[in-house]
Structure 1
Amino acid sequence: MSTPGTPSLSPQASTEHIRRRWWILAVLSLTQLVVVLDGTIVNIALPQAQAELGMSDAQRQWVVTAYALVFGALLLLGGRVADYWGRRRAFLVGLVGFGLASAWGGLAQSGGELVAARGLQGLFAALLAPAALGLLTVTFASGRDRNVAFAVYGAIGGGGAAVGLLLGGVLTQYADWRWCLLVNIVFAIVGLVGGLVLLTESKAEGDNRYDLWGAVAAIGGLGSLVYGFTLAEDGWAEPGTIGFLALGVVLLALFVLVESRVDQPLLPLRVVAHRVRAGAFVVQALIGSVLIGATLYLTFHLQIVMGMSPLASGLANVAMTVVIILAVPAVTNLLPKIGPRPLMIAGPLIAAVGLFYLSGISPEGSYAVEVLPALLVLGLGLSFVLVPLQNLALTGVAPHDAGAAAATVNAALQIGGSIGVAVFTVVYTRASDAAFADGAAPAAALTDGYSATFVAAGIAMVVAALVAALMIRGTKSDLLPQGDDDAARVVHVG
């Protein structure tokens, strides 16, 4: 790869070099697609998987939570490993591990095996995703091609969730739910061959040390919090619930202490100490709770109560994504005119309206009347937030902290999703159990649970709007990056 100051390549060599770079983009984008779509591809398959493996509702939610939690908790460490150990090596190992974990999940004979395999997928995804991003950064170092490459990479990452729902619907309906995991083996083989042929090694130079104690404290703290919320199904005052929630708080406090004292922290505290960036991270976590947590229960309503096929359910969910795609160009043009703060406040409030409308579902209701309008409004609200969000995560960040800021905002999405699934499961269980106790029919009791979940998700969006109003302050010029290359690069992280 040529760099500034190196001799120019011959025309033939230059053409081959350019062609090779675009093939690298194709390989890296494929792996980004796999990592993102695996957050949603099993959602459509869960009703069938639950029935075949005999999973409880609590165990069912861990199929989603295990992936999001491990992925989000290890993302910062995975980026460090890729930078220090070698990005190509980390990419290849991540692909192999992700493929093997997917094979295990696809062949699982119990709910426990499936949950463990999903956690292992999250572990290797946390190694694979930052390695791919680092390789893309090195391959496209500057110029127009870099902007195009990161736009393509970001668009594929952004559309991965919708692809996951559609692909999950097709595979579950026409093959078997297990293929929602086994299909990753094909992607992994293609990526592995492409990586071996095309990629060259790169890594950070100098004295690099891992912040292992920080990683342990972060993983233990987040895991304890999520497990504590899961135990809340049995009661908030139960010793187990209180104990794990308290342990999570203590370990996260220890994480902050460790990060303030080590020379090379996993997460430099200056990244999250900035009020605007901190507000963006909190809003991102709340958005994750809706995108990963609340929409899971919409899938259940569509299939279990409304009787939709897996494919129809996948198509029905995509309405929200279509609105986001259509609205993003207009919101992007609006952003420099009014600034990000009004969008960050209005967006969650609009999304909340959609969720509160969705809470009005009934066992006999139609998709066109009770679900579709809510998804259209929800998609519009989310588009208002998603456009400025990553820009805000970079507000005032130093160039050498840009990678950590980008990793944090993506980790916030996954961690918010895992906590959201746990909390919404408690809400759903309490509401549906109460309806069953009152003698409601099964469909009505389940609908009561889903309705309560959407109310809770709407409240989460109202909280997001309040966070934005209180923490995201400043002029348009203060809040929007002014063209710094590093900032522009990170804005396109999927």
Structure 2
Amino acid sequence: MSEGTLQKPVLPVAAADPGHDARPRPEPRSRPGLALAIILTCQLMLMVDATVMNVALPRIETGLHFSQSSLAWVLDAYTLTFGGLLLLGGRLGDLYGRRKLFTWGIVLFTVASLAGGFATSAAWLLAARVAQGVGAAAAGPSAIALLNSTFTDPKARVRALSLFAGMSSAGFAIGLILGGVLTEAASWRWVLFINVPFGLVAAVLAPRFLKQPPRHETKLDVSGAIAATLGVGSLVYGLIHAASNGWGQTLTVAPIAVGLALIGTFIVLQGAAQHPLLPLHLFRDRNRAAAYANYFVGPAAGFGSFFFLTQYLQDVLHYSPVRTGFAFLPMATLVFTMSRLIPRLLPRFGPKPLTIAGTVLLVVGLAGFTRVGEHTAYFPGLFWPMVVMGLGMGMAFSPLMVVIMHSVRPEDAGAAGGTMQTLQQTGVSLGIAILVTIASNSARSHPATALLSSEHAALTAAAVFAALTVLVSLTFKKVER
């Protein structure tokens, strides 16, 4: 047995699905519609938590005494843990059962949400956000694998995956709306408490209505998981430290260098591992590789910009939390609407035209936000970029999940889904960290207009990131209908 791996334990026949007693539990009835509803609800909950805190950040900053630069950790503590452990979560699902891991992941996420709602210090809240990320990393890749095994008919699978992708993208915008309503009506603590009833219902229903996919022989690549998680975490720490302390300090440069070295080590380890967390052969298909690339860069641009748009709306335009949340309603509506249309459009046009059109619209929407000023009215100054960006995100990202998962082998479903979500969450974390650094540098250079200058600089950088997704989209090859 190689160092850093654990052999799969030998389980008795009666324990083929962990958590059973000596009598095997009967297989759940075939209820694909209900199974889809459970999976989509859980995915929405996990994605909402990546942004639901955004609108509440000003009040969290005051209530728990965060500094302006450290406030980004309220978001990154979740997305970093979520993204860093997703690959390991996919392999644990193969090892111990995807339904089992999905259920326990939701339970941990729910308990951590409850604990975070009672936080009385910054450290307490960040610890709860880390625990939420661990639970999400356990549930996330298993959710995709469960979806893939539930819907075996190609057309039904495309519809289910498109809805899943739309829920993932719309969840970010829905989180902003929900966060605004709860913060205004109650307090910021309810953006965490709201997860509890949904999590409990999902944890009860999942074992009853989700079928257990077949397991696959595997090992746990512990050394790879450690290198990936610490590498991304160190890189993001260095970038956030640069935002508050500049680039000339050891605590800025050293973590970034260590992070890049660990990420490089992780890739080398995956090439040599017999059971890698990240099977490199998943990138041999050109369309899948392009989809993975855009799942990394796209969230860095689109979702990273939400961090600054919410602060711009509240701090510059003086919107209330609830008004800030509902400002994103056109975007959320159009993202989800496009996800319903993708199953019809994708077979007709293929991924290339859709993703090119979507990424171009994403660039245009972000560029529109850079033109807003201190007295910009919502109509039309903010409304039209919201509409264009919503159309762009729906067209650019919904086809990607179908491209990634449509032809993947069953034994690679967990790893493929985990890789996709890892790139998405890592893109969000790195995107926020880089944009915070750019915004802080701009604020120091223009002290007289620090707030507005920093917002414009960050959103301009987000538009540049989005332009990279256009270039990646051009590499898609045409496919037959």
Q: CA separation of 1:403/1:89 partners in 2, compared to 1, >3 Å: closer, same or farther?
A: closer
Which residue of the other structure, out of 200, 212, 222, is the alignment partner of 2:222? 212
Matched, 1:185 2:190: no
Q: 1:17 aligns with which of 7, 20, 29?
A: 29
Whichever residue aligns with residue 424 of structure 1, its letter is L
Alignment of 1:44-83 (within 5 A): 44-83=55-94
2:476 counterpart of 1:476: no
TM-aligned CA deviation for residue 145 of structure 1: 6.7
Distance in structure 2 (CA, Å) of the matches to 1:460 and 1:153? 24
Q: State the TM-score, normalized to the length of structure 1.
A: 0.84
Specify the alignment match of 2:235 in structure 1: 225
Quick check: 1:98–1:120 contact (8 Å CA) kept in 2? yes
Separation (CA, whole Å) in 1 of partners of 2:331 and 2:201: 30
Deviations 1:67-104 (A, max 9, x none): 11111121121111122112333233212211221122
Residue pair 1:361, 1:447 contacting (<8 A) in 2 also: no
Distance 1:203-1:335 versus aligned 2 partners, 3 A rule: closer
CA distance in 1, matches of 2:341, 2:202: 35
Q: Does 1:244 align with 2:255?
A: yes
CA distance in 1, matches of 2:261, 2:184: 45
In structure 2, what is the Cα distance between the partners aligned to 1:70 and 1:324?
26
Listed one character per residue, the Cα deviations across residues 244-281 of structure 1 (whole Å, up to 9, x for unaligned) are: 11111211111112111121111111112444433322
Amino acid of the residue matched to residue 186 of structure 2? A
**In structure 2, C-alpha distance between the alignment counterparts of 1:413 and 1:320, rounded to whole Å:** 19
Q: Whole-Å Cα distance in 1 between the matches of residues 381 and 36 of structure 2?
A: 41
CA distance in 1, matches of 2:352, 2:205: 42
Amino acid at match of 2:420: V
Report the Cα distance in structure 2 between the residues aligned to 1:83 and 1:129, rounded to whole angstroms.
13
Tell me, which stretches of 5 or more residues in structure 1 are unaligned?
1-15, 483-494
C-alpha deviation, 1:473, in angstroms: 4.2
Residue 115 (structure 1) aligned to one of 101, 104, 126: 126
Q: Does 108-117 or 134-143 show the bigger shift?
A: 134-143
Contact residue 81 and residue 90 of structure 1 kept, 8 A: yes
- 1:319-334 aligned at under 5 Å gives the runs 319-327=330-338
Report the CA distance between 1:151 and its aligned residue.
Answer: 5.7
Q: 1:336, 1:476 within 8 Å by CA — same for their partners in 2?
A: no
Q: Distance in 1 between matches of 2:338 and 2:206?
A: 35
Q: Is the 8 A contact 2:362 2:388 kept in 1?
A: yes
| Other-structure match for 1:489 | none
Q: Mean Cα displacement is larger for which, 183-192 or 393-402?
A: 393-402
1:433 to 441, 444, 455: 444
Shift of 1:140: 4.9
RMSD: 2.7
SS of equivalent to 2:180 = helix
Q: Secondary structure at the match of 2:328?
A: helix
Query: CA offset at residue 149 of structure 1?
Result: 5.5
Equivalent residue letter for 2:190: W
Cα distance in 2 for partners of 1:464, 1:410 equals 17
Q: Which of 66, 90, 100 is matched with 2:111 structurally?
A: 100
CA drift at 1:402: 4.4
Q: Does 1:449 align with 2:454?
A: yes
Instruction: Specify the alignment match of 1:3 in structure 2.
Output: none
Counterparts of 1:308-323 in structure 2, within 5 Å, are 308-323=319-334
Q: CA deviation at 1:105?
A: 1.4
CA distance in 1, matches of 2:209, 2:407: 36
> 2:64–2:122: 8 Å Cα contact kept in structure 1?
yes
Q: What number of residue pairs does the alignment pair up?
A: 453
The alpha-carbon distance between structure 1 residues 183 and 256, as it changes in their structure 2 partners (threshold 3 A), is: same
Distance 2:213 2:411 in 1: 17
Distance 2:116 2:192 in 1: 6
Q: Which residue of 2 aligns with 1:10?
A: none
Instruction: Check whether the contact 1:101–1:118 (CA below 8 A) recurs between aligned residues.
Output: yes
Mapped to 2, the partners of 1:229 and 1:378 lie a distance apart of 27
* C-alpha contact 1:230 1:426 (8 A) present in aligned 2: yes
User: Quick one: distance in 2 between partners of 1:263 and 1:75?
Assistant: 19
How big is each residue's C-alpha offset from its partner over 1:85-139, in whole Å with a ceiling of 9 and x where there is no partner? 1233323321221122112211111222222211211111010122333444455
1:424–1:48 CA distance, 2 compared to 1 (3 A): same
Relative distance call for 1:455 and 1:473 in structure 2 (3 A) is same
Q: Identify the residue that residue 4 of structure 1 maps to in structure 2.
A: none
Contact 2:302-2:462 at 8 Å conserved across structures: no
**Cα deviation per residue 1:360-397 (whole Å; 9 max; x = unaligned)?**
22122212232112222222332331243234435875
1:419 pairs, out of 415, 419, 430, with 430
Find the aligned partners of 1:162 and 1:466 in 2 and give their Cα distance.
25
Q: Secondary structure at the match of 1:59?
A: coil
